[in-house]
Amino acid sequence: MSSQVADKSFVTTFVVLISALALLATVLFMVGALVGVVGSVAPDDGSRKQVAVIERIKPVARVAFAVPKPAGAELRLSGQDVYNKVCMACHATGAAGAPKVGAKDQWEPRFAQGLDTLVKNAVNGIRGMPAKGGNPSLTEANIKDSVVYMLGETGIKTDAASAPAATVPVEVAPAAAPAPSN
């Protein structure tokens, strides 16, 4: 009789122990999965979604640039066009920590690096800022125009702002024209 009681309490203890182990394993598994997810998604996943959106809307610009035409023959997008098509997605709202157009305090410390650096960072991408705003069909000149446009809208004057960058294809140099390298 007493051995039956002992058996029963052993079984109970055993079941509790097994359950606890199973729970522990589940928790560990979940933590592991979570760490895996966190590790694989960079903190700027918001901007990744934006990039995905831009990936989807980019054919408009891609068609325009894929048609090989002699330099200067096609209408070059103005900085404003590029901004409206691509950059606005983040820079109008400050999505993903993008400096907002119109927020001088956000742009001034960046502009202090010099326009060329800003353009270079926008072309190559920096942190949450995807290369060319996620649209590889844009040229460096497009990027520069749109950066100048954003700075202008923010009230920051650049030397380039006074140049007729918008409609005159001054910068459609041979270097910019050859085969899109994407």
Closer to ligand HEC at the Cβ: 47 or 158?
Answer: 47
Whose Cβ is closer to ligand HEC: residue 4's or residue 182's? 182
- Between 22 and 60, CB nearer to ligand HEC: 60
Q: Choose among 53, 180, 177, 48: nearest CA to 125.
A: 48
Q: How far is the CB of 162 from ligand HEC (least distance, A)?
A: 19
Residues in contact with ligand HEC by CB under 6 A are 47, 50-51, 54, 82, 86-87, 89-91, 95-99, 110, 113, 117-118, 121-122, 126-130, 132-134, 138, 143, 146-147
Q: How far is the CB of 96 from ligand HEC (least distance, A)?
A: 4
- Nearest CA to 139 out of 74, 93, 57 is that of 74
CB of 108 to ligand HEC, least distance (A): 11
Cβ 143 to ligand HEC shortest distance, Å: 5
Cα dihedral: 145, 151, 153, 157 (round 10): -100
Identify which of residues 146 and 158 has a Cβ nearer to ligand HEC in the complex: 146
Tokens of 164: 């007729």
Rounded CA-CA distance 102/86 in Å is 17
Match 């182990």 to its residue by tokens.
21
Q: Which of 96, 107, 90, 85 is nearest to 153 (CA)?
A: 107
